[in-house]
C-alpha cells in the first residue's frame, strides 16, 4: 500500500463531514466519495487513486 498523503486524508475527512448540500455532487462522483465514509474508507479510496497511477 502506498504511503498516503496526510493532507489528502485530512482535507477529505473535513470535506466529507460537511452537510451534503454544501458538497459538490459532481466532485464526489468523480472522486468516488460516498456519504458517511469514515477515515478507513477514505484511506482506501486515496490508496486506490495512487494504485491506479502506477
pLDDT at 47: 87
pLDDT of residue 7: 72
Of 15, 22, 50, 53, whose CA–CA distance to 36 is shortest? 15
User: Which residue do the cell numbers 496526510 mark?
Assistant: 6
Q: How many CB atoms lie within 10 A of CB 28?
A: 16
pLDDT value of position 52: 75
- The rounded distance, in Å, linking the Cα atoms of 36 and 50 is 22
Q: Which 8-state DSSP code applies to residue 18?
A: S
pLDDT along the chain (54 residues), means of 10: 66 93 95 92 90 72
Residue with cell string 460516498: 34
- Output the pLDDT for position 51: 84
Q: Which pLDDT score, from 0 to 100, does residue 29 have?
A: 95
Amino acid at each position: 500500500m502506498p504511503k498516503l498523503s496526510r493532507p489528502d486524508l485530512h482535507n477529505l475527512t473535513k470535506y466529507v463531514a460537511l452537510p451534503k448540500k454544501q458538497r459538490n455532487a459532481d466532485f464526489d462522483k468523480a472522486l468516488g466519495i460516498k456519504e458517511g465514509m469514515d477515515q478507513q474508507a477514505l484511506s482506501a479510496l486515496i490508496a486506490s487513486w495512487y494504485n491506479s497511477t502506477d
